[in-house]
Amino acid sequence: MDTMPPSEVASFRAALKSAKHIVALAGAGLSAASGIGTFRGAGGLWRQYDALSLATPEAFAENPSRVWQFYHARRETARAAVPNAGHLELALLSSPTQRASLAPSSKSFTLITQNVDGLSPRAVSTAAPNGEGEPPLEMHGSLWRTICTSCHTVSPNTDSPISPGLAGTEHHPLTERELPLPRSALPHCACGGLLRPGVVWFGETPPHLENIDGILRRCDLCLAVGTSSTVYPAAGFAGGVRSRGGRVAVFNLEGEGGGGAAEWFWGGRAEETLPRALGVEEEVGGLV
């Protein structure tokens, strides 16, 4: 049986053409095809640690060396990855020129990503001509930023390695514990303070929430892409759009996602279902 019946695809495309304010919510499933681990379920361990337990201020305070080795490994994995067709399709929508044929009535498009790998901003640079693409809102921060624990300066950082002491630690056997690095081997600010990854950890408040709330209140079409809708506040975004009369399409490999708000649900890999739903397989294929 066709998992994307033509009648459903047609009704979705009609909704897209008439939508005025479109929002895409991206989760870890969007980056899975690029080789970025989700660190949930069976893949939830880094060395012998629950990866989610390392994403807390308390874990960093207790053992900054362990947490930095975890994030250094994630940075190096993300550095080697490339945006997939799902990233590129959302990047096309971020460009008013590219969006005109898909959503001619649209006045705005916003990509809100929960991912910290930087692949969505890279996709916008690739797919949107002349730098006209709207950058995504990275509500959980970015691996490519740091925050000083002393002066609190937030800075972009794409160094590889981010500090000499972390060089090669990503190749240390995963069956063994992390290396016992001294604090002096970790990344430091110009002020001398210890740097931390520029991501939002459990227990911290994501940035942009006031801006996101305003964007979602006017949204009339929401695309939930590769998100299981289990981590709040993002887990309630699609449901909020639906409760205000907006329409929701979900593209997710496992389960419905979207908080049960889906009018259209397509199970499968987002990098396959999203371009097909929008009818841009050839355009995206030329960018991959």
pLDDT digits (tens, 9 = 90+) for 119-140: 999 999 888 767 788 899 999 9
Return the percentage of the chain with pLDDT > 70, whole number.
Answer: 90
User: In this predicted model, what pLDDT tens digit does every residue of 3-19 receive, in sequence order?
Assistant: 788 899 999 999 999 99
Does the pTM surpass 0.95? The reply is no
- Neighbour count for residue 58 (Cβ, 10 Å): 11
Q: In the numeric block, which tokens belong to residue 224?
A: 């939930």
- The dihedral through the CA atoms of 190, 192, 196, 198 has a sign that is negative
Rounded to the nearest 5°, which phi and psi values hold at 150?
Answer: -105, -60
User: In this predicted model, what pLDDT tens digit does every residue of 57-106 receive, in sequence order?
Assistant: 999 999 999 999 999 999 999 999 999 999 999 999 999 988 999 999 99
Determine the residue type at 3.
Answer: T
pLDDT value, residue 1:
36
Residue 145, pLDDT > 80, answer yes
Beta bridge partners of residue 248, listed in sequence order: 222
Largest CA distance in the chain: 61
pLDDT value, residue 39:
67
Q: In the numeric block, which tokens belong to residue 21?
A: 């304010």
User: In this predicted model, what pLDDT tens digit does every residue of 216-246 receive, in sequence order?
Assistant: 999 999 999 998 766 667 778 899 999 999 9
Residue range 277-284: mean pLDDT, rounded:
70
pLDDT value, residue 262:
86
Residue range 132-152: mean pLDDT, rounded:
95
User: In this predicted model, what pLDDT tens digit does every residue of 20-52 receive, in sequence order?
Assistant: 999 999 999 999 999 998 766 555 778 889 888
pLDDT value, residue 40:
61
**What region, left, alpha or beta, does residue 203 occupy, with left being phi > 0 and alpha being psi -120 to 50 degrees?**
left
pLDDT value, residue 129:
66
Rounded to the nearest 5°, which phi and psi values hold at 164?
Answer: -55, -35
Active site (catalytic) residues = 140
